[in-house]
Chain A
Amino acid sequence: MNARVDLPAAREVCPTTTRRLIGEGALLVDVRELDEVAQVAFDVPGTLLMPMSELEQRFAELPRDCQLVLVCTVGERSLKATYFLMYHGYTQVANMEGGIVKWSRKGFPIKGQVPVTASAAGGCCSPASSKSGCC
């Protein structure tokens, strides 16, 4: 089966940098499941939908010749997906930390509404943890 690859740390970018990269031609790759996307989606033209449940079978559809920024709800699944693509030789990949929760909190365009449960799962920048001053 699989050979081991010593992967470097994945590149992680914030929503603001992600927007800049999109402006420079990067593609957003949303790895959330389709029912999640139906609830709330990134309002970014050209966003590719590649649910985690299909990634292993379909990842070869993703282009290798342009920058990809992987996104999900809070940035955990997309980090895993980023490493998966790196394992398969993709070099121009980055993970957007904070996912659509952080993206929408920044006021960046979305279609729909971020569910309260997802919003609460925002980790470091959730209202409960903001007192700690980490953000």
Chain B
Amino acid sequence: MDIKVLGTGCANCKTTIALIEQVAQSKGVPVTLSKVEELRDIMGYGVMSTPGVVIDGKVVHAGGVPSRDKIEKWLAA
């Protein structure tokens, strides 16, 4: 599962990455996690509010730190 976190490096973006890492580890789901920090690349997903989360090329979240529940659902899919 390829996961990208969109954000220019704010605290919420870092928290989102850490949370996804944590949930993936606890569930034993292998993920490739990367950050997209360039404004042009972020806006290439049409996301105005960050952090944004892209899973396998699809934007699944934009704005605010996603809940643990939400992340668990993404990883279970």
**Which of A's residues lie within 8 Å of B, judged by CB?**
1-7, 9-10, 52, 55-56, 79-80, 83-84, 86-88
In the complex, what residues of A have CB within 8 A of residue B59's CB? 1-2
> Within 8 Å of chain A (Cβ to Cβ): is B45?
yes
> Within 8 Å of chain A (Cβ to Cβ): is B40?
yes
**Which of B's residues lie within 8 Å of A, judged by CB?**
39-40, 43-48, 54, 57-60, 62
B24 CB → nearest A CB, Å:
21
In the complex, what residues of A have CB within 8 A of residue B46's CB? 2-3, 5, 84, 87-88
Label chain B's interface by main secondary structure. mixed
Residue of chain B at shortest CB distance from A87: B46
Bound form: Cα–Cα A127–B40 in Å:
29
B60 near A1 (CB under 8 angstroms)?
yes
Bound form: Cα–Cα A79–B40 in Å:
9
In the complex, what residues of A have CB within 8 A of residue B58's CB? 1
A56 near B60 (CB under 8 angstroms)?
no
Residue of chain B at shortest CB distance from A76: B39
In the complex, what residues of A have CB within 8 A of residue B48's CB? 52, 55-56, 80, 84
Q: Provide 16 A-B residue pairs closer than 8 Å at the C-beta atoms, listed in order of the A residue.
A: A1-B58, A1-B59, A4-B44, A4-B54, A4-B57, A5-B44, A5-B46, A7-B40, A7-B44, A52-B48, A55-B48, A83-B39, A83-B43, A83-B44, A84-B43, A87-B44
